[in-house]
Amino acid sequence: MTQREKAELLLRLQQRGSSLLLPNAWDAASARLFEEAGFSAIGTTSAGIAFSYGYPDGERMKREEMLQVIARMVSVVQVPVSADIEAGYGPAPRDVADTVQGVIEAGAVGINLEDNTGNSTHPLFPLEAQVERIAAAREVADHAGLPLVINARTDTYLAQVGEGEARLEETIQRARAYIKAGADSIFVPLLLDPEIIQILVREIPVPLNLLSLPGGPSAPELFQLGVARISIGHNAMLSTMGLVRTIANELHEQGTYETMNRYFYGFAESAALFSVS
């Protein structure tokens, strides 16, 4: 498929009434493994990529480094890739535009763009500012002739902005404004309340994306509530880190390889995994 065809496919896969389960990869190997498992599209995890390169989360990794990883993932899979670009690697619309241009050049066909400032005192960009940032992303995509899938993330629930009804109203207001600015879907991480989920599905006229969390509702349960797109964020990467820690502790303390042998992925199988790249 061409890049445009991949973007059009991603958009179709996440329409309202759909059930797109989007795994989040952090390197070429994880991207290929998710594709091999049968997923029709893949997202990236900025936190997972940052951790794998020895950085904390939160745009501490340079934009150029992040784009290089995204480009490598795109190069080894055939399915559409949506890139997590955090808050756009800079506060100004121009910063977002430059990042989106890099994403398009890397071959990705979608983005997650959040309104989280990283400032605990003022955790979210002002509504008007975030609208301008989303509009800048859409303008770059339009200029490139690419129907880039913009998944606009609002962290009203993650950052616990307001309480109760006020938080819900803030979420709806931001979602509707982001849609007018060019967003194709709305992402509300850390929202788990079924009643609120159903309200957002009803009040937001584009697909709703939620984050599947360990101990939270399963993907089928969320789809039943009307959620159209579910991602797993950095959770698979953290689970992999947990597995490596178990292997390391067993090897160091006992000198045995049982855990490593249990999850071993054959060398020949690994070589074949990348034969298409």
Q: Could you tell me if 4 and 146 are in contact, meaning their C-beta atoms sit under 8 angstroms apart?
A: yes
pLDDT value at residue 221: 96
Of how many residues is the chain composed? 277
CB atoms within 10 A of CB 188: 24
Q: Which two tokens stand for residue 6?
A: 């991949």
pTM of the model: 0.96
Percent pLDDT > 70 in the chain is 99
- 42-44: strand order across its sheet: 20-22, 229-231, 208-211, 185-187, 149-153, 110-114, 81-84, 42-44, 24-25
- pLDDT mean over 2-18: 96
**Residues 86-99: pLDDT tens digits?**
999 999 999 999 99
pLDDT value at residue 276: 60
Average pLDDT, the chain: 96
pLDDT value at residue 12: 97
Please, what sign has the CA dihedral across residues 133, 138, 139, 143? positive
| Residue 215: pLDDT band with limits 50, 70, 90 | confident
pLDDT value at residue 181: 98
Give the C-alpha separation, 111 to 70, whole Å: 11
Q: Which two tokens stand for residue 186?
A: 């709305």
- pLDDT mean over 98-120: 97
pLDDT value at residue 275: 81
Question: Does the structure show a pLDDT above 80 at 164?
Answer: yes
Largest CA distance in the chain: 59
